[in-house]
Structures are given as structure tokens and as C-alpha cells.
Amino acid sequence: MPHTRATHCPLCGSNLKPTDWEGRTRPKCQGCGFVYFFNPASAAAGLVLDATGGKVLLVRRRIQPFRGAWALPAGYQEIDEEPQEAVRREVSEETGLEVEVQRLLDVAWVGDDPRKPANVIIYLCTVVGGQLRAASDVSEVAWFSLTDLPEDMGFDNRDLITRFLDRE
């Protein structure tokens, strides 16, 4: 995991040294004593349904991982926003649609993302405005029938939608 290869303290810039600390070897600052804990990122994804409730909004990813595959609109949470704000912002940036969060659906652990592991918070959303257009890091955006999803889907989004359908 390249993101764990920090060499300098983010607080004072001194060298970090691998140190046994609370059950793991962690980089510890030789200057100020800061201990570097690596945590998963937090991300938010929207399972956005159309007015009939039968179609889901998917984006075709223009970046890795799963470049070229279809996925739920999603992205990392900014440091100063709540998860629900993050999902509304990401859906708007990637699809042009303004959405409202209906409820929390799921939390998915994505441990194999080469950028960094993440907890992805998935919200059920409905459209309240905007104009459909692909932007940001997606090349295409489209509505798909929940029972006729595209073959090439990224992450475990197909399983996630299947679980959603099984529960409803």
C-alpha cells in the first residue's frame, strides 16, 4: 500500500521511524512523538432511483480502478462535509442531477482499492432537479433497469444492487 509509506512527520517534518505502538508497527516521529495511524478513507455513493423506482442511475468511470466500467456515482468525502453532503455533491458533479437522500442503505468496505481502502456509505436517493450530463471523472451517465444491469460493473455494485432488490 503506497499510501502507508510516509517518511516524514506531517506535523513537524522530522523523520518517522517504525515503532511498536498499540499492537502494530507504526511510523513514529523522532522529533515531536507523533504516531502515524493509517485509516481507511471515507466515501459516499448514491443508489439513485428514477421517479418510477425501477431504474438506477449509473456512471461509466473514466479513471481507475474499474476504468470503463459502470458504477454508482460516488466519491471521497471532503474533510469538512457530512456524508450526505458528499453524496449529493458527487452525484451532482458526475451526473448533473440534484438528489435528495431518502435513507442510509449500506456501508461497504472496499479493501482492494489500489488508491487506499475505504468505507463507502451508500444512500438511497431520488432526483429533485438538474439536467443529465456526464462530467467530472465519468465519461457517460445513463439510467438502467434494476433488472437489466450492464455486464461490466465496477466494485461490488452489482451485488449491492441485488442485495437492495432482495430486501425491498
Positions marked catalytic: 140
Handedness of CA 49, 52, 53, 54 (dihedral sign): negative
Among 34, 66, 144, 164, indicate the residue that binds Zn ion (CB under 5 A): 34
- Note whether 128 binds Zn ion by CB under 5 A: no
Minimum distance, C-beta of residue 34 to Zn ion, in the bound complex (Å): 4
Q: Phi and psi dihedrals of 34, rounded to 5?
A: -55, 135
Stretch that binds Zn ion, among 21-29, 46-54, 139-147, 160-168 (CB under 5 A): 21-29
Q: CB within 8 A of 166, min separation 6: which ones?
A: none
* C-alpha cell of residue 154: 465496477
State which of residues 4, 6, 12, 111 lies at the interface with Zn ion (CB under 5 A): 12
d(C-alpha 91, C-alpha 141), whole Å: 11
Binding site for Zn ion (CB under 5 A): 9, 11-12, 14, 29, 31-32, 34
